[in-house]
Amino acid sequence: MRKVAFAAVLVLLGGAFLPGLARDASASISLEKCTLCHGKPEFRKLLVDGQIRDLFVIGDTLAGSVHAKKVCTDCHFDVSEIPHREHPKRVTCTHCHYKGNHEGAPQSDNVLAYFDSIHGQAIARGNTKAPLCQDCHGNHRILKAKDPGSRVARVNVAETCGKCHMEIYAQFKGSIHGTALAKGIEEVPSCTGCHGEHRIYARKDPKSTVYSTHVSEQCSTCHGSIKIMGKFGIETEQVATYKESFHGVANQFGSRTVANCSSCHGVHDIRPPDDPLSMVNPKNVPKTCGKCHPGANPNFAVGKIHVDAKNKESGIIYWTATFFKWLTIGTMLALVAHIFLDMYGRTRRLRGER
């Protein structure tokens, strides 16, 4: 089935993935000829859905981009005459971007990862609204991901994704991650930090990084790092305490319904506990816990949520855990001693009988 979907994508993209595909356009079509029309700021097109597509492109647009040394027909290779009578097909980035290419493009399997993703699968099913390469990376002024001006740079990727996922973007902007990102904090995760870049799967797909059994592991990449959390004065014990809790143990055994990080803290709209809108604000804890525990009352918010039984600050929980630890150790030692003495006595009796 996956091979069929992959083939369908290649057909939809014009079969441009095959290396050595001959270009229909003439290399003699210069930028100057193209800008006779596209060099006019008012050059636009009204689409059937009412949107306006800006067709203004000049040489400076490509300057500084990863394609600065390319000419128009390197991408628009179906344009063979000026003016072109037929509407050019959508640019197929797979004409150059594939592992083993000889065009100088990065040697990566990102294109294959994309075809296997939820976006690529949507394209294979014929969804014309599903994003292609240029919807995320841009059309003409494409910059490297590490460039602050890139549409897929960490500080900009949420806005890029938000063009399709508007409601989620609005939630993310008001979250603790979104507000930190707006302040320029580099360590904070954006969309790709949790969902991945090209290999993005639906949350109900077991391969997804945000699948129910993978959420705690994904969150721990940052929240379990002393180097990252220490920079902001945030404790990392939450990761360890969750793993040792009933929820954490059940999660590690593959339970898809047990509470994980997002079940309590939220998905995109994650807020600090002192925020009245936070799901783990003391006033909201009964409602949050009540999703799984019907009848949850204000007492659910009285104690500490992430409790480290190995820390004295946990009070009676620490002493209870310590008592049972030593009780277990003492019982095992007594059992071993009993077995040893019994064996010793049996040995002496056997020797005495002889």
- Residues 316-339: tens digit of each pLDDT: 878 888 899 999 999 999 999 999
Distance CA 354, CA 337 (A): 26
Residue 25 shares a structural domain with residue 54 = yes
Residue 246 in domain? yes
Question: Following CA atoms 278, 283, 285, 286 in sequence, which dihedral angle do they give, to the nearest 10 degrees?
Answer: -140
The single-letter DSSP state of residue 282 is T
Residue 137 in domain? no
Residue 290 shares a structural domain with residue 349 = no
* Average confidence (pLDDT) over 99-118: 90
Residue 9 shares a structural domain with residue 121 = yes
Residue 335 shares a structural domain with residue 302 = no
Q: How many helices (H) and strands (E) does the chain have?
A: 18, 2
* Average confidence (pLDDT) over 93-111: 88
Residue 10 in domain? yes
**Alpha-carbon torsion 33, 35, 36, 37, what sign?**
positive
Residue 135 in domain? no
Residue 34 shares a structural domain with residue 155 = no
Domain residues for 147?
143-199
**Other C-beta atoms within 10 Å of 132: how many?**
20
Q: Which of 130, 151, 175 is the last residue of a domain?
A: 130
pLDDT of 226: 92
The model's pLDDT over 164-209, given as tens digits with 9 standing for 90+, comes to 999 999 999 999 999 999 998 888 999 999 999 999 999 999 999 9
Residue 285 in domain? yes
Residue 206 shares a structural domain with residue 186 = no
Whose tokens are 């500490």? That residue is 304
pTM: 0.76
Residue 128 token pair: 């014309």
Residue 269 shares a structural domain with residue 316 = no
Residue 191 in domain? yes
Looking at the predicted structure, is the pLDDT value of residue 17 above 60? no
Distance CA 21, CA 19 (A): 6
Comparing 209 with 83, which gets the higher pLDDT? 209
Backbone phi, psi, residue 160, to 5°? -65, -50
Residue 61 token pair: 């647009």
* Average confidence (pLDDT) over 271-275: 94
Residue 174 shares a structural domain with residue 187 = yes
Residue 229 in domain? yes
Angstrom distances, CA of residue 37 to CA of 32, 52, 82, 87, 270: 10, 17, 10, 14, 48
Residue 1 shares a structural domain with residue 125 = yes
- The whole-chain average pLDDT of the chain stands at 86
Residue 38 token pair: 């596209």
Residue 193 shares a structural domain with residue 230 = no
* Average confidence (pLDDT) over 276-294: 94
Nearest-CA neighbor of 118 among 237, 196, 201, 50? 201
Q: How many domains, in total, are found in the chain?
A: 4
For every residue of 49-87, DSSP letters joined together read: TS-EEE----HHHHTTSTTTT--HHHH-TT--SSS-SSP
Residue 102 shares a structural domain with residue 178 = no
Distance CA 292, CA 147 (A): 44
Q: Are 36 and 42 in contact (CB under 8 A)?
A: no
Looking at the predicted structure, is the pLDDT value of residue 12 above 70? no
Residue 9 shares a structural domain with residue 65 = yes
3-state SS, residue 120 = helix
pLDDT of 354: 52
Question: Following CA atoms 137, 140, 144, 146 in sequence, which dihedral angle do they give, to the nearest 10 degrees?
Answer: -70
Through-space distance between the first and last CA atoms of the chain, rounded to whole angstroms = 78
Residue 86 in domain? yes
Distance CA 93, CA 104 (A): 13
Nearest-CA neighbor of 248 among 180, 303, 306, 189? 306
Looking at the predicted structure, is the pLDDT value of residue 139 above 80? yes
Looking at the predicted structure, is the pLDDT value of residue 90 above 90? no
pLDDT of 27: 46
Res. 4 pLDDT band, cuts 50 70 90: very low
Q: What is the CA radius of gyration of the chain?
A: 30
Q: Which of 156, 178, 199 is the last residue of a domain?
A: 199
Distance CA 196, CA 211 (A): 12
**Alpha-carbon torsion 229, 234, 240, 246, what sign?**
negative
* Average confidence (pLDDT) over 215-243: 92
Q: Which helix (H) or strand (E) holds 228?
A: helix 226-230
Q: Are 111 and 98 in contact (CB under 8 A)?
A: yes
Q: Which of 168, 184, 199 is the last residue of a domain?
A: 199
